[in-house]
Each structure stands twice: as C-alpha cells, then as structure tokens.
A and B are shown apart, each in its own frame.
Chain A
Amino acid sequence: MGKWIRWWGLGAFVVVVAIVGGVWIFFVDGWVKSLIEEAGTEAVGGKVELDAADLSLFPAGLTLTRLQVTDPKEPMTNAVEIAQVAMGLDGLNLLRRKFIIEEMVVEGVRLSTPRSTSGATRKVPAQEKELGMFSIDLPSLEVPDVKKILEQEDLETIRLIETLKADIKGEKETWESRLKDLPGKSQLAKYKERVKNLKNVKKGGLEGVLGGVGEVQSLKQDIEQEIESLKGAKKELEDKVTLLRTRLDQIKTAPQRDIQHLKAKYNLSPQGLANMSQTLLGGEIGSWVRQGAEWYERVKPFLEGVQAPGGREEGPEVQQPLRGKGVDVHFKEAHRLPDFLIRNTKVSVNLKLGDLAGTVYNITTDQPTLGKPTTFKFSGDQLKGVKSVSLEGALNHVVPAESKDEMTVQAKGYELTNLVLSKDAKWPVALTSGLGDMKLNAELKGQALTAHGGAQLSGLHLSAGQEGDANPLTKALSSAVRDIAQLAFQADVKGTLEHHDVTVSSDLDRILQSAAGKMVNELAAKFGAELQSAISAKIAEPMKQLKANMAGFDGIAGDLTERVTQHNEVLKSLLEKSLPTKDLKLPGGLKLPF
C-alpha cells in the first residue's frame, strides 16, 4: 500500500487547488466585468461600460458599479446610466449553469446622460434631420385671377367639347358617304321603269299574265329589301345621334366638376381645417412610436429568441452551440427553470422631473419555461412639473406564437410649457403653458399594434400667428386659438411596428372650422361663381357650334325618311294600281299569291 500512496501528495493537491482558487478569486471580478461589457455591447450596438464588478461567494452575489449603456444613435450620450446594481445569486443553480436572481436592486437610473468619450462601436448611420420649418396646408384667402386660371388650366369641359366636336364631324362624314351607297333616286327610277314594263306584259293573255306574276313577285321583294335597308340605316343613325346627344348633355354638367377641382387646387376649400390636430401632432406622435418601436426591437430577441432548451416531454433536445465546442444535450428537469431569471427587480429612476420607483417581475430570456410573463410597474408622485405619473405593463411571450405586450402610461397634472405645435412660417403656434391629464394604452398582439391615447388639457395659454399679420384667415385662426382655454385630444395608432397609421383628433378642429370655415366658404362661393361665369362664356361658342353640328344629322335623317317613303309609294303603286289581279280568273279556281 505504502508503495503506491504518497500522503504528502494530498497536501500538494490542496496547495495547487488553493493557488488556482486564489487566482480565480483574484481575477474573477475583472472577468465578470469584461463579460458583461462584451455581451452588453454586442446586444445594444453601442459601448456598454462598467466601472467595477464585485462577485462575492458567501453569500453568492454580484454588485455592479456605474453601468453606462451608450445610445447607439448618439455615441456621446448614454441611453441609460445606472449608479449601482446589486443582486443576490442562487449559488446552487449557478453551479447548474443557471443565473437565477431572487431580488435585484437597481439604484440611480438616469437617462440620456452625456459621455466623456464616444461609445460608438460601428459607424452611426446619418439620421434624417428634422425640418426646421414645415408648411401647414392652410386654406388660401386670395381669390386667384379666373382669367389666368382658364388660360393655364386644362378644363375637362373644353376637352369634352373638342372630343365631341371631332366625333360629330367623323360621324357626319361617315353618314354622308354611306348615303351614297344606300338606295336613292336612280334606284327608284329603275324600279318605276320595271313597274311600267310589267303593265305592258300583262296584256299578253294568260301566258303573259303568268309570266308577269313571277316578275311582280321578284320586283316586290327587291323593293321591300331596299326599304328594310333604308329603315335599318335610319335606326342606326338615330342611335348614334342619341348617343351624341347624351354626351352633349354630359358636357353641360362638366363646368361644375371643373369648378370643384379648381377650388381644391387653389386651396379654397375649408377641408384643410378639418383635421388640423393631425397636422400639428400626427408627425410628433409618429416619431414617438418609431422611437418606442426601435427600443422594443432591441429587447424582443431576449424575450423570445433565447429560450433554454429544457429536455422536452418527447425526449432529450440537442442544442447547437459554437463550432468546436461540441453540442449540449439537454434532458428533462424535475424543476425546470430558465437559464436566466431575475424574479424581482426594484428600480429607482432619477429623472429631471424627480424620482420614479418601480418593480419589474420575472425578467427572463425564457418565458415558456418559466410560464410567467415579465411585468412592470413604475410610479412617481409630486414630481417637478407633474403631479403623478405611472407606467405599468406586461410583456407576455409565454406562448411565443401568441405573444401579447401591453403598456399603460398615465400622467396627471402634467405642466406643459413652451411646446411648439406649428413651425409654419405663416402661422406659428405654440403652447405657452397649460396642464394636462394624459392616458395611453398600447398593445402589441403578435405583429398587430394598437394604441389609444387621450389627453385633457386645461388652463391653456396659446400663442399663434405673427404680429401685423394681414391675412384675414390666419388672423381669425390665431384669434380662435388664443381664446382656447381647454382642449381634448385623442390619438390612435394602428398597424405594425414598422408600418402604422397615426390618427389624431381634437376639439381644435371644430374650433378652427367654426372660426374660419364660414370665411373660407364665402370666398369659395365667390370664386366658384366667377369660375362658372367665365367657363360659361368660354364654352358658349363651342357649344353653339356643337348644337349646329348636331342639327346636321336632321338633314341626313330626313333624307333617309324621304327615300323610305318614295320606295313605299313605288311598292304601293306596283301592288294596287299596276296589276288588275282582282278581275283575273285562273283555271281551276287558282289564286295569285299576292
């Protein structure tokens, strides 16, 4: 036994293990620090820096000091800066490679703090600069020169007249040509001649009479065919003329359409005032939604993308890790837990307007395993510039295919100061002061985003317009806006995070409409009357010509009628006067077939 055992080796082993353990303890804080910085930087897309990390083993815990998370879009600004994060670790689960934290305290959270050095890790794409000034589509109060408009504009009425004129001309030419081909006077003369010849033949006895009967039958059919041809042509002409007359009638209503179009084009319609709230606030709200969506997209992969494989009911699950590291085979656990979980996080946020306190429950990368959603609730009272504010919501990805994230934000007694509503050069509008109670509910169900916000603003002082403004419309609008003491706003967002529509409505629309709507309507009526008069004068002559051209079809129709009549007369004379068939006795009591 003694040959194979060296007891001093046990001491050597303890010394070696102690040295390795000592080195690990000495370097572990730096290792944890760099691990957090590297993983955070990779996830955020901007530098994540930590002043210090302190890992304690008994009891297991981790304290992080001054965590800075760069705003990737503004590398000289920290999106978030946290003074201290302290957490107690579940040591036993840590040995099982599970990062389970029962409680975490996050103190001194500040937003948008300046950085001393750039936190850029990649080239920041150029941001679309906000336009300094924009133009509100206000109704115009200057009646444009109608004469000039009619010279420049392509009027539908004129276009219709020109087209109809060309079509009438074409039809007339077609019919004049066609009349030459239809049975006319020469044809009629030939028929008369044939009838005359028949009268001579019948005098030749029974044989002559029988021969004449065949000739009469043939002549009768020829004349009737000509009459049918003439009647068909006449009917066709009448149809064409009816169609042309309908188009002529339509031209009579075209000036009204031209007037409506020109009124809208030259901004003499009160519709511009109908949704001024949308114009003033729609863009701003859309920008907030986009910012929120960007941050949500960064968090989303952690909510549903890093699910720990946990040995499912159907058998072990193979997870593919990095190349060269083999694969981990996971088996069913008796008490399943996510690989990362913070059950309770207490957060204190230091904003410019005061401190907010809140709690976040169940922060995890694997909600399906935990079976609970991440929920959060923040609130603050008696803050600087706001009486109370609260934010609560849930990020539910327990069933990833049926994810539902919801959030409610409420602010009471929010002091509004120097808020620029319109940067329009002609009509600037600003909210000097006021108080607002606001509530916003937002929900993202799968890809479908719906948000509804409402605000009651009171004690408002608004400034609008410029000094010495001579425009009666903006003067009226400014006066109406300055008189507003309270307003109610409603905003709705629908669509997806990438593509959404923002609709905003408020009392402002009604107020502006009643203030300036009448004025705009009167001007629009005046402009319309002038246009009506000018267009009528402009189309009077072309319309007269059209009617005259249309009258030309009456001559063609009369000609056709006359030809039909004349052919009928020839036929009549053939049947009734020319042949004495009434007195003709045929052998065997036979009768003539006419």
Chain B
Amino acid sequence: MIKLFAKLLRVLNSETDPGQISLGLCFSMIAGLTPLLSLHNLVVLLLVCILRVNFAAFLLGLGVFTGIAYVLDPLFHLLGLAVLTIPALEGLWTFLYQSVWWRLEYFNNSIVMGSLVFSVGLFIPILLLSNLLIRRYRQHVLAWVQKTKIMQMFKASKLYATYQTLSAWRDA
C-alpha cells in the first residue's frame, strides 16, 4: 500500500506530461471497469503499449477501477440491458450479432455492454478533468505541500525513503 501511494506521488510529482498520466488513467478505467478478458481490452492494451501512456498510472488505475467495478456491476447490468433492448438499436445489434468478432467481444452481455458504454462515455470527461487536476496540483498543492511541516516530516520518514529508492531504480 505504501509502495502504491509512493508510486502515485512519484507519478504526480514527476516531470511526466499530465496528458500521458490522464490517458493512462482513462485506459485503465476501460480495462478495469469492463470484464478484463474481453476482446476490446486487447485493443486497449495495444493502445497503452504504442501510445506514450504512463504505464504506472495505467497499472495503478487498473487496480483501483477493477475494485470499483465490483460495486458498480448492478449499475452496469441495468445500463447494458437498457442499451441492448432499445428498439431503435435492435437492427444494429442484430447486424453485429452476425459477426464472429463482435460475438467474441460478447457485446450482447449486459455487464460487458453497460461497463463499456459507461467507461467510454466517461473517457473524454475524465481525461480532461484529470488533466486539469494534475496541472492544478502541480501548480498549487505540490509547491505548498513541499513547504509544510508534515511534508518535512514525511521526507524524513520510511515512506519517503522508499520513494527515493524507487527514484534511484528508475534513474539507474
């Protein structure tokens, strides 16, 4: 847990582009909220690999969103079922249902569809919001935190030592 928190701090405090961190978090939201062994997550993994996305943010987000998914499953089920049974979309779903790849995607499952719609729908808003928050954090909070007594104490703690170790590993 300490290492995880240290990772988060390190990512936030690093010189990494806030967009890369935000993108990592948003991709992790899709992979974490939807069933992991879905075909679309292979595409997500491909994008995470070839785009300059922050891996640490992705892995951190994956763990957090997977946990959240268990709580939100009933909501995903209701949302997915509603989407799949919209009469206007029946033609589209029937068309996709004939395709082997879409069947492999398991789009006709209420939780797969619900979680995918939910996470894709929140992708852009979360991307923009997290981007903004990271920038604000670095501008205001980080500078203030560095000066606080608590931070001074923290720097003298074991947690900070771990943080330093991780930094050393990265630099090595």
Apart from A4-B51, A7-B50, A97-B103: 15 A-B pairs, beta carbons within 8 A: A6-B52, A10-B46, A13-B46, A16-B49, A96-B104, A326-B77, A326-B81, A326-B112, A326-B114, A328-B110, A330-B97, A331-B90, A331-B93, A331-B94, A333-B97
Query: Given the complex of chains A and B, what is the CA–CA distance between A315 and B42 in angstroms?
Result: 31
A residues within 8 A CB of B48?
9
Query: Given the complex of chains A and B, what is the CA–CA distance between A97 and B97 in angstroms?
Result: 12
The answer to whether A318 and B104 touch (CB under 8 A), given A9-B50, A326-B111, is: no
Contact, CB under 8 Å: A329 / B84 = yes
Contact, CB under 8 Å: A311 / B97 = yes
Number of residue pairs across A and B with beta carbons under 8 Å? 85
Cβ proximity bits B71-99 to A, threshold 8 Å, 1 near / 0 not? 00100110011001100001001100110
**Interface members, chain A 250-300 (any B CB < 8 Å):** none
Contact, CB under 8 Å: A95 / B103 = yes
Contact, CB under 8 Å: A330 / B50 = no
Contact, CB under 8 Å: B85 / A329 = yes
A148 at the interface (CB under 8 A from B): no
Closest to A14 in B: B49
Nearest Cβ in chain B — how far from A22, in angstroms? Answer: 16
Contact, CB under 8 Å: B111 / A95 = no
| Residue in A92, A316, A325 whose CB lies within 8 Å of B93 | A316
Nearest Cβ in chain B — how far from A538, in angstroms? Answer: 89
A126 at the interface (CB under 8 A from B): no
Contact, CB under 8 Å: A330 / B49 = no
Contact, CB under 8 Å: A324 / B52 = no
A residues within 8 A CB of B84?
316, 329
Cβ proximity bits A304-328 to B, threshold 8 Å, 1 near / 0 not? 0000000100011010000011111
Contact, CB under 8 Å: A315 / B100 = no
| Residue in B77, B98, B104, B108 whose CB lies within 8 Å of A330 | B108
Query: Given the complex of chains A and B, what is the CA–CA distance between A4 and B30 in angstroms?
Result: 20
10 nearest interchain CB pairs? Answer: A326-B111, A9-B49, A13-B49, A326-B110, A331-B97, A9-B50, A329-B84, A331-B94, A96-B103, A327-B110
B residues within 8 A CB of A328?
108-110
| Residue in B73, B80, B94, B104 whose CB lies within 8 Å of A324 | B73
B residues within 8 A CB of A324?
73
| Residue in A5, A318, A332 whose CB lies within 8 Å of B94 | A332
Can you name 24 A-B pairs with beta carbons within 8 Å?
Answer: A4-B51, A7-B50, A13-B45, A16-B49, A17-B42, A17-B45, A95-B100, A95-B103, A96-B103, A97-B103, A311-B94, A316-B84, A316-B90, A324-B73, A326-B80, A326-B109, A329-B84, A330-B108, A331-B90, A331-B93, A331-B97, A332-B94, A332-B97, A334-B98
Contact, CB under 8 Å: A3 / B52 = yes
A residues within 8 A CB of B85?
316, 318, 329
Nearest Cβ in chain B — how far from A20, in angstroms? Answer: 9
B residues within 8 A CB of A315?
90
B residues within 8 A CB of A316?
84-85, 90, 93-94
A39 at the interface (CB under 8 A from B): no
**Interface members, chain B 101-136 (any A CB < 8 Å):** 101, 103-104, 108-112, 114
Contact, CB under 8 Å: A333 / B98 = yes
Closest to B93 in A: A331
Query: Given the complex of chains A and B, what is the CA–CA distance between A7 and B46 in angstroms?
Result: 11
Interface residues of B (CB under 8 A from A): 42, 45-46, 48-52, 73, 76-77, 80-81, 84-85, 90, 93-94, 97-98, 100-101, 103-104, 108-112, 114
A592 at the interface (CB under 8 A from B): no
A residues within 8 A CB of B45?
13, 16-17
Contact, CB under 8 Å: B50 / A5 = yes
The answer to whether A9 and B51 touch (CB under 8 A), given A324-B73, A327-B81, is: yes
Cβ proximity bits A370-410 to B, threshold 8 Å, 1 near / 0 not? 00000000000000000000000000000000000000000
Contact-size category for A: 20 to 34
Nearest Cβ in chain A — how far from B42, in angstroms? Answer: 7
Query: Given the complex of chains A and B, what is the CA–CA distance between A334 and B94 in angstroms?
Result: 9
Binding site secondary structure of chain B: helix
A12 at the interface (CB under 8 A from B): yes
Query: Given the complex of chains A and B, what is the CA–CA distance between A96 and B49 in angstroms?
Result: 28
A residues within 8 A CB of B42?
17
Nearest Cβ in chain B — how far from A2, in angstroms? Answer: 9
Cβ proximity bits A51-68 to B, threshold 8 Å, 1 near / 0 not? 000000000000000000
Query: Given the complex of chains A and B, what is the CA–CA distance between A112 and B163 in angstroms?
Result: 68
The answer to whether A329 and B81 touch (CB under 8 A), given A16-B45, A96-B100, A96-B103, is: yes
Nearest Cβ in chain A — how far from B19, in angstroms? Answer: 9
A residues within 8 A CB of B97?
311, 330-333
Closest to B100 in A: A95
Nearest Cβ in chain A — how far from B52, in angstroms? Answer: 5
Nearest Cβ in chain A — how far from B81, in angstroms? Answer: 6
Query: Given the complex of chains A and B, what is the CA–CA distance between A10 and B45 in angstroms?
Result: 10
Nearest Cβ in chain B — how far from A543, in angstroms? Answer: 91
Query: Given the complex of chains A and B, what is the CA–CA distance between A331 and B107 in angstroms?
Result: 11
Cβ proximity bits A94-137 to B, threshold 8 Å, 1 near / 0 not? 01110000000000000000000000000000000000000000
Nearest Cβ in chain B — how far from A587, in angstroms? Answer: 118
Closest to A321 in B: B109
Closest to A9 in B: B49
Contact, CB under 8 Å: B114 / A92 = no
Centre residue among A4, A95, A97, A318 by max chain B CB count within 10 A: A4
B residues within 8 A CB of A326?
73, 76-77, 80-81, 109-112, 114
A residues within 8 A CB of B112?
326
The answer to whether A6 and B50 touch (CB under 8 A), given A326-B112, A333-B98, is: yes
Closest to B110 in A: A326
A residues within 8 A CB of B104?
95-96
Nearest Cβ in chain A — how far from B40, in angstroms? Answer: 14
Query: Given the complex of chains A and B, what is the CA–CA distance between A495 and B60 in angstroms?
Result: 67
